[in-house]
Amino acid sequence: MEGPFYRPDAPLLEAARSRPGGTPVFTLVRRQGERGAVLMFSGDVRSTGGEPLPGAILDIWQSSAEGLYSPGGAGGDSSGLFDGRQPPFNLRGRLAAGPEGGFEVRSVIPGAYRDPPGSLDMASTRPAHIHVRLTHPGFATLTTQLFFAEDPHLHSDPAEAVRPGLVMELERRADPADLAARGLLRPYFACRFGFVLAAVG
Whether 4 is covered by a domain: the verdict is: no
Whether 129 is covered by a domain: the verdict is: yes
Would the CA dihedral through 109, 110, 114, 120 be positive or negative? Answer: positive
Omega before 152 cis (within 30°)?
no
Whether 1 is covered by a domain: the verdict is: no
The parts of the chain modelled with pLDDT lower than 70 are 73-78, 116-123
For residue 45, give its domain range: 17-197
pLDDT at 12 (0 to 100)? 97
Whether 24 is covered by a domain: the verdict is: yes
What distances in angstroms separate CA 173 from CA 33, 41, 52, 185, 187, one per listed residue? 20, 13, 27, 12, 6
Q: Judge contact between 104 and 13, C-beta under 8 A.
A: no
Whether 149 is covered by a domain: the verdict is: yes
All residues at 6 or more sequence positions from 144 whose CB lies less than 8 Å from its CB, including other chains: 131, 132, 166
All residues at 6 or more sequence positions from 69 whose CB lies less than 8 Å from its CB, including other chains: 5, 61, 62, 63, 81, 82, 83, 86, 91
DSSP, collapsed to helix, strand or coil, labels residue 19 as coil
User: How many CA atoms are closer than 13 Å to the CA of 150, on its beta-carbon side?
Assistant: 3
Whether 79 is covered by a domain: the verdict is: yes
pLDDT tens for each residue of 66-125: 999 998 766 565 678 999 999 989 999 999 999 999 999 999 999 999 876 665 566 689
- Extended strands (E) in 36-187: 38-47, 57-62, 92-96, 102-108, 113-114, 125-126, 129-135, 142-148, 167-168, 171-173
Q: Which of 154, 153, 132, 130 is nearest to 142 (CA)?
A: 132
pLDDT at 154 (0 to 100)? 96
Whether 7 is covered by a domain: the verdict is: no
The number of distinct structural domains making up the chain is 1
pLDDT at 3 (0 to 100)? 87
Helix (H) or strand (E) holding 32: none
| Cα diameter, the chain | 49
Residue 40, beta-bridge partner list = 106, 190
- Extended strands (E) in 137-187: 142-148, 167-168, 171-173
pLDDT at 115 (0 to 100)? 75
Whether 6 is covered by a domain: the verdict is: no
**H helix intervals, the chain:** 176-182
Q: What gap in Å lies between CA 104 and CA 38, rounded to an integer?
A: 13
CATH number of the CATH domain containing 21: 2.60.130.10
